[in-house]
Amino acid sequence: MVSTMKELSDYDFFDPEFLVCPYEFYKLARERSPIMELPSPKANAKLFLVTRYDLAIEVLKDTSRFSSNFAALLVGQAEPDDELQLIYAQGWPQANTLLTADPPEHERFRSLVNKAFTSSRIEKMHDSIQQVVDESIDGFIDRGHCEFVSEFAVPLPVKVIAQQLGVPPADLPQFKRWSDAFIALLSHLISREQEIQCAKDVVAFQYYFRDVIESRQKQPQDDLITDLVNAKVAGERPLDMVELLSIIQQILVAGNETVTSAIAAGMLLLIKHPQQMELLQTDFSQLQNFVEEVLRLETPTAGMWRVVTRDTKLGDVEIEVGSLILVRFDAANRDPAKFAAGEGCDVRRPNASSHLSFGYGIHYCLGAMLARKEMHIAFQRLLLRLNNVRLAKDGYQYLPNVLMRSLKYLHIEFDKVA
């Protein structure tokens, strides 16, 4: 009998089809090579993939050996491109603020932005989030079917973040287009023509929010941008235009795409696990833990880069200075050494919230509280108003992306609760 057991060498990590469902590979990698060298996007730097939970924690918490200054990887092509550089030159440079800054610079940005993301602000958003949720459900509930991504999972976080940034609802389509552009650049899977269009969208985003920032400087309002413009910490200068644009860009993407992905993936998980859905509908006290289980199993930010600052050793692997580390949150979040039966969905899992979906340490996502609130309200209202939710014949499809995991579409049918 010919063996059908796969080897790690049988997988191409950057193959779009692989990225849609990498979990068999992750299981093999955790067991055989949890720090695995991959073909690198940079010719002069090695790339290592980290798939085990304990190793991921070690990388994420040690900012002295593993730097977050990977901004060069966020702007597409590895080789210089004159046309792209001309487009980007029309806007503002990318700044190392939250995602790509190390201490002590990161501490300054974090302390200033925390002034805008207070728990009291998030708590005050409950009613407006529920209103957006119910209005979205109202739009399709009488039909008994919908394309869940475009009709619910996309508009909810876009509308919520637009409200918080204080921009008009009429501009929401632009928000979605700009957010998609940032995500596409992260994918490292787009054509040069697509990359040029994404660059134009990035610059358009910058000019739009330059105008909003200048407006808030003259006429403050009750919104996040005003809070960011006015944020001050003793001994620190306020954020400048380049820094404000960088932070708003991160808020737009983190407060939009990741929540869309998590809500859509959560609905698909419930459809695939009807007993878990029934359990939630009869015991809403499990909803918050279900949110954590969704984030663990269907990690929206599948991975994140780090740059090695000096020759070091991780596990039993020697790694040279300048090497790249790709920490796979979605692999670590299924590690059976941390999560028993980690491939399964269990809304009562006792340690579901130990996932790495929001990062770890100083780079823990500042929007985590808002994301959890949106997800909790969304699933509460969906489970109260829809019953017998099931896949429609057109099913679902995932989008391939190196750093993000998201559904392109999810067609569902359901019964309306009387």
pLDDT tens for each residue of 268-298: 999 999 999 999 999 999 999 999 999 999 9
Asked whether the beta carbons of 158 and 175 are under 8 A apart, the reply is yes
Tokens of 282: 């009869």
Give the angle subtended at the CA of 228 by the CAs of 223 and 232, to the nearest 5°.
Answer: 130
pLDDT at 103: 87
pLDDT at 169: 85
**Confidence at 233, pLDDT banded by 50, 70, 90:** confident
pLDDT at 314: 97
pLDDT at 324: 93
**Confidence at 305, pLDDT banded by 50, 70, 90:** very high
Give the predicted TM-score (pTM) of the model.
0.91
State the number of CA atoms in the 13 A half-sphere of 210 facing the CB: 10
The CATH superfamily assigned to 8-416 is Cytochrome P450 (1.10.630.10)
Nearest to 195 by CA among 183, 204, 207: 183
**Confidence at 252, pLDDT banded by 50, 70, 90:** confident
**Confidence at 1, pLDDT banded by 50, 70, 90:** very low
pLDDT at 43: 67
**Confidence at 98, pLDDT banded by 50, 70, 90:** confident
For the chain, the C-alpha Rg in angstroms (whole number) is 21
Q: Which residue type occupies 25?
A: F
Residues in Cβ contact with 217 at an 8 Å cutoff, skipping those fewer than 6 apart: 229
Quick check: 241 pLDDT over 90? yes
* Domain parsing of the chain, residue ranges: 8-416
**How does strand 312-314 pair with strand 145-147?**
unpaired
Asked whether the beta carbons of 24 and 6 are under 8 A apart, the reply is yes
Quick check: 70 pLDDT over 80? yes
The DSSP element (H or E) to which 177 belongs, if any, is helix 172-187
pLDDT at 3: 46
**Confidence at 254, pLDDT banded by 50, 70, 90:** confident
Write the DSSP string, 22-42.
-HHHHHHHHHH-SEEEE--SS
Tell me: the pLDDT tens digits for 20-43? 999 999 999 999 999 999 987 666
Rounded mean pLDDT, 391-406: 92
**Confidence at 188, pLDDT banded by 50, 70, 90:** low
- For the chain, give the mean pLDDT: 91
Quick check: 139 pLDDT over 80? yes
Tell me: the pLDDT tens digits for 327-355? 999 999 999 999 999 999 999 999 999 99
pLDDT at 2: 45
Backbone angle region of 76, left / alpha / beta, with phi > 0 → left and psi within -120 to 50 → alpha: left
